[in-house]
Amino acid sequence: MDYRSGAVGKVLFARFDHGEAVLPSLAEICRKEGILSGWFLLFGAMAKGSMVTGPSDACLPPVPVWVDFTHPHEIVGMGSVAEKDGAPSIHLHASLGRGREVLTGCIRKEEEVFLVVEAMILQVTGLSAFRKLDAQTGLELLSFD
């Protein structure tokens, strides 16, 4: 385990509209606002996207199980903001629901808003969070100075 203590700096509210991509938009807001360490919460609806819903087996490095969703789903999610190569890097985990179907995992690409997604972004000050490649897992893990 590794951890650091910080404080909440800026608090931002954002709205993403129908057809927008959330991940690059979150990164752009953080870039404009100078946020390289933070946390965010979001909710709304997604029209489509691709997510990792877990590893195929319990082995390291993990082999991701990709799931595409191609119809609108409600979304509740949260994630971290950390520096990677001098820019904000977004890591989003979410639960998606449509009727009785529920998907939970890491949304990574090709996501698009259906109607609206609202977010609250919390800047964390007093620490430096960044993503560092871990040789054992093959993942870019949250790390600290």
pLDDT of residue 145: 84
pLDDT of residue 143: 95
CATH fold label, 7-127: 60s Ribosomal Protein L30; Chain: A; (3.30.1330)
Annotated domain spans of the chain: 7-127
Which stretches of the chain score pLDDT less than 50?
Answer: none
pLDDT of residue 39: 98
Cα 135 versus chain centre, distance: 22
